[in-house]
Structure 1
Amino acid sequence: MNSLMGQVATGQVTDENEQNYFVQLEDGNTYRLDKAEIKKPLKLKSVFKGFAYENNSHNKQITRTAPNVRIGRYGWSKVVSSRRDLGVFVDIGLSNKDIVVSLDNLPTEKKLWPKTGDKLLVRLDVDDKDRMWAIPADSNVFQKISLSAKPEMKNKNITATSYRLKMSETLIITDHNNLGFIHPSERDVEPRLGQSLRGRVISVGTDGVLNVSLKPRSYEAIGDDASMLIALLEHDPNHHLKLNDHSSPEDIKNVVGLSKSQFKRALGHILKTGSIIQDETGISLKEQ
């Protein structure tokens, strides 16, 4: 009979020691059952049903708590570590076994591999050597679990996870199961596979797919520049910068690293708050 590794199976208790019961399954293999899992002691020949796997010590083990991720069943799993020559390891809910996502199923560029804390939607697979692997879901799976986004989503903020990296776009699924994509022009850095992302919806397609940007809105970008100017003023001993809206682009770039147009927008934003004054010598924080 084929191995029952990675499956929920029923067997019979054949032996025990201080720490474990030993359960023989229908595949003829004997699996350890940690006694800490069992509230009421089992007897020899007792029937037990659980999830069969090989633990990190390469011992066959069975547990009554089956993980959500199984053969033919997908579930979200967090990345816990990686090995450049093998792939990344994910936690599917087994206390003493992390499962490998093979490098064959990861981006060619290792900088785009998931990092610890990122998450992947995976299913289990067992090869002919009884090794368990985590297989990432493909686009068809995400299509099946997704919900069509409504037009009212436009300009909304979203949190999403990247599930496929392409030259032309990054494919994502939001926390509410809406599919979306990020064009390279709408990001500063290409996201990793499995990375959690915060973005905003540029538009909603007729197919209910979100067009998402990772770049800030214009007023948010101005806000960041304005905050930087305030920080520079606060750290200057005289709370003063020798810049104003008549300064040369070169002087502005050298002092604060902004273009003149960025500087003027940020300056205008701060002036509206009434927190600084501007004159021919530059800008200064107002005395409180």
Structure 2
Amino acid sequence: MEKLKAGNKVKLKVERQAPFGYFLSNGEEDVLLHQSEVVGQVKLGQLLEVFLYHDSKNRLAATMLTPKITEGEYKFLTVADVNSRLGVYVDIGIHKDLLVSKDEMPTDKEQWPRAGDILFVGISYDKQGRMLGILGKEENILPLSKEAPPSLVNKFVTGTIYHVFHLGAFLLTEDGYIAFLHRDEAEGYKVRLGEKLKARVKWVRPDGKVNLTLLPKKEERYGRDALLILQHLQSRNGMMPYSDETSPEVLRQKFNLSKAAFKRALGKLLKEGKVYQKDGWTYLKQDQ
């Protein structure tokens, strides 16, 4: 007979009653069904379908509550609590939450999920056979996804981040599209695992997956960057020692703009006649 194991639904016989619940058996092993885990009426000799887990004392126990996940499944589950030493706990529908180890979490703790976020997880086991949560991978999420149509470009989608790594993050959108947000498209925003995020579709790939951006469209970005330069000029009596010849490092430090973005925005202001340049300086026209 197969050994009883946490994470599974099994049918066990009610062998005897105790002051704190019932002992169930498969004929070889007994497990406790605590009174708090009982749903409805229970009778001796009855065959019950229960879910097995490890209780707070690491003993194999049973519950009649319906779990949100069993072994072999991967689902989006809500984060119930975060423990910086151990990891993240997710609600699986029974009285004991499922621990997703800190080893599964991003190296940067700022990118750890928060209570209320959603993690895509499955069930695994440690060396002692205790049930643990593991983050789902692309092969686990593919069955839940579908290809995005080319018409999705420039439209906004909302999705949940299921994987974070050094280049960015992967999301599954509410419509079932797998999406990638590169860190350069996040405008300096540090995303976190399990976060729900709204972003614009920049590109629909040939395989039906999409690339996202948090940056505004170019024309909108030019206007915003140009306004930033104008505000800087106004704060310096209409002149600044920066031009399209200024080094990229200085422009990034002073304006948080790449040289290409600075030149585009400055070019817009020059074309509109709002500024002029002389000897490496930029000046605000007096009537502005």
Would you call these one fold, judging by a TM-score over 0.5? yes
What is residue 273 of structure 2 aligned with on the other side? none
Equivalent pair of 1:3/1:27 in contact (CA under 8 Å): no
Q: Would the alpha carbon gap of residues 36 and 129 (structure 1) be closer, same or farther in structure 2, given more than 3 Å must change?
A: closer
Q: 1:93-112 CA deviation, whole Å, 9 max, x = no partner?
A: 11x20111112211122221
Q: Does residue 206 of structure 1 match 2:195?
A: no
2:21/2:32 contact within 8 Å kept: no
TM-score between both structures, scaled by the size of structure 2 = 0.72
Once the two structures are superposed, what CA deviation does each residue of 1:183-217 show, in whole Å capped at 9, x if it has no partner? Answer: 22211223111211110111211111111012234
What 5-or-longer segments of structure 2 have no aligned partner?
240-254, 270-285
In the alignment, what sits opposite 1:231? none
Range with bigger deviation, 136-145 or 29-38 = 29-38
Written as runs of structure 1 = structure 2, the 5 A alignment for 1:69-148 is 69-94=69-94, 96-148=95-147
Contact 2:106–2:165 under 8 Å retained in 1: no
Compared with structure 1, are the counterparts of its residues 99 and 224 closer, same or farther at alpha carbon in structure 2 (3 Å cutoff)? farther
The DSSP-based 3-state class of the residue aligned with 1:38 is coil
Cα distance in 2, alignment partners of residues 53 and 252 from structure 1:
69
Q: Matches of 2:238 and 2:148 in 1, distance apart? A: 44
8 A Cα contact 1:49 1:64, kept in partner: yes
Q: Give the aligned residue type for 1:189.
A: Y
| Shift in CA distance, 158/170, structure 1 to aligned 2, threshold 3 Å | same
| Number of aligned residues | 247
Measured against aligned partners, the alpha-carbon deviations of 1:150-205 in whole angstroms (never above 9, x if no partner) come to: 01111111111122223233222111110111122211223111211110111211
SS where residue 185 of structure 1 aligns?
A: helix
In structure 2, the CA distance between the partners of 1:250 and 1:145, relative to structure 1 (3 Å rule), is same
The answer to whether residue 236 in structure 2 is matched with residue 250 in structure 1 is yes
Q: Distance in 2 between matches of 1:224 and 1:55?
A: 56
Aligned to 1:64: 64
**Residue 185 (structure 2) pairs with residue 186 (structure 1):** yes
Contact 2:158 2:196 in 1 (8 A): yes
- For 2:87 and 2:79, locate their aligned partners in 1 and report how far apart those are by CA, in whole Å: 10
Call closer, same or farther: CA 1:186–1:63 in 2, change over 3 Å.
Answer: same
> Displacement of 1:39 after TM fit?
2.7
Q: Give the RMSD, CA atoms, in angstroms.
A: 3.5
- Equivalents in 2 of 1:45, 1:171: separation in Å? 50
Shift in Å at residue 252 of structure 1?
7.8
Give structure 1 stretches of 5+ with no counterpart: 226-243, 266-279, 283-288
Contact between 1:4 and 1:52, CA under 8 Å: does it hold in 2? yes
Contact 2:77/2:92, CA 8 A, preserved across alignment: yes
Aligned to 2:12: 11
